Each structure stands twice: as C-alpha cells, then as structure tokens.
Structure 1
Amino acid sequence: MKTITKTIRKTTTKTISLFLSLSLLLLSGSALADDDCDDPVASWQPRENLREKLEAEGWRVRRIKVDDGCYEVKGRDANGVKAEASFAPASLLMMKWEREEDDDDEDDDDNNYERNDKDRLVNQQQGDASSRMSSNGIVKDRPSVTVE
C-alpha cells in the first residue's frame, strides 16, 4: 500500500510541476507579444493616409502591410536609411523603427522595386486598360466600381 501511495504522490508532483512549467511558458509568451498593436479595426486609418504622411516627411515607401495588428512599413526614411517601422493603425504613430540590413534575402530590394514601378507607370501611360487585360475570353471588360 505504501508503494502505491508513493507512486501516486510522485505522479501528482510531476503533473503539478509540468502544469506550472507550461503555465509560466504561456505567460512569458504573452508578455513578449505586448509590442503588437491592439487598435480596434473599426478605428484604423487607410494605408494611403500613412503613405501620404510618410512621403510628406521625406520617406520613400516601398511597402505597407499589416503585421501583428500594426502597419509595417518598409522603405527609406527621410535620411535615406533603409528602414522597417511599425505604426499604430488608428493614430499612425510610430511604434518601432529598425534599420534594415542590406543583406536581407528579400526578393524586392529597392532597385527592383523602383525599376518595376517605372515599368508599371510606362505601361499605364501606353495604351488603354483593355490592352493590358488578359485575353482569356472570360473577362471582356474591366469591372466598374461605384462608391456612394
């Protein structure tokens, strides 16, 4: 009977230790995630507002995307430094700024971006929208959108 009691005690102690360890691990993970933005989506400003604000401050914006509830901007800041910054989507306040290293393995470096952007602008200036549409026979005209 004593061996059964010892075995139960050992199992219970191990279970409690495991439970406490997992609890601490989960709590530490949520503490690390506090850098994320938590603005309600209904109060977010459009990305274009952030782009206009940054360009007025001298930024060359390459990309704006949503990451962990924040707007993440990649581009060159007003000093010409290749940077990545996070902004609160409701207030457009900068939450974090970091210098982006030149050895990033991303496909879209600044030179490719600028070249592709120039190509896109040239294509827009040449011809109308129908000449750039695919000729798959399914879509015959560009859809129209009316905002009221």
Structure 2
Amino acid sequence: MKSAFIASTALLSVLLSACALADDDCSEPVSDWQPRETLRQNVEQQWGWSVQRIKVDDGCYKLKGTDRKGNAIEARYAPASLRLRSLQINFGDDGDAGDYLAQPAHE
C-alpha cells in the first residue's frame, strides 16, 4: 500500500512538472504572427534596446540584445500579440533594475 502511494505521488509530480514546462511555449497560430521587424521597432522605440537577434524558440520570439546602459538582455515574446512572456537581464557592475520596475515613457 505504501509503495503504491509513493509510485502515484511520483507519477503525479512528473505529470505536473511536464505541464509546467509546457506553459513556457507559445501556441499562437503562425497566421496571426506579427513580423519580427515590428517587435524590433517596438523595443527600440519603447525601451531603447539594441537588438542583435530575434529567432523563434518553442513558438515564441526570442530576442537577444542590450539595453541603453549596455546590460545584456534575453526576452521572449508571444509572436501574435507581442506580449512580453519572460525577461532576463544580466546587469553590469553598476546595473540598476529601476528602469524595469516602472512603465516606459511614451512620447
């Protein structure tokens, strides 16, 4: 009885972790995707980022570049809505997260 409980608990944890990993993927239909150039223009205008590369990864746009202070950026966007799904920033020695805690200024 105890081994059946352990086995079912282990199976449940594997299934739940698989579901959690599946949430990282984007699943919007390709016919609805916006051009990569639109994403590039948006982040350059809104955030002042310099984009080095945009590629498709797990159905999402994966952007690599630097912010206006030279910090390395890796971001994932939903390709149809261009909504930010994840953002990683490698701050330099004098890096400050304050720029990313407030909304971008609109001109």
TM-score, normalised to structure 2's length? 0.67
Q: Residue in 2 aligned with 1:76?
A: 66
Count of residues in Structure 1 that have an aligned counterpart in Structure 2: 91
Q: Within 5 Å, give how 1:1-148 maps onto structure 2.
A: 18=7, 21-57=10-46, 58-100=48-90
| Contact residue 71 and residue 91 of structure 2 kept, 8 A | no
What CA distance in whole angstroms lies between the structure 2 residues aligned with 1:47 and 1:20? 43
What CA distance in whole angstroms lies between the structure 1 residues aligned with 2:38 and 2:29? 17
If asked which structure has higher relative contact order (CA below 8 Å, sep 6+), I would say 2
The structural deviation recorded for 1:78 is: 3.4
What CA distance in whole angstroms lies between the structure 1 residues aligned with 2:13 and 2:84? 31
Amino acid at match of 2:32: S
What CA distance in whole angstroms lies between the structure 1 residues aligned with 2:69 and 2:34? 25
Structure with greater Cα Rg: 1
Identity of counterpart residues, as a percentage?
Answer: 48
Structure 1 gaps, min length 5: 1-9, 103-148
| Contact residue 74 and residue 87 of structure 2 kept, 8 A | yes
The structural deviation recorded for 1:101 is: 7.1
What CA distance in whole angstroms lies between the structure 2 residues aligned with 1:14 and 1:60? 55
CA RMSD after TM alignment: 2.5
TM-score, normalised to structure 1's length? 0.50
Structure 2 gaps, min length 5: 93-107
Q: Residue in 1 aligned with 2:104?
A: none
Offset from partner CA, 1:36-84 (integer Å, 9 cap, x none): 2222221111111111222223211011011122111000123432110
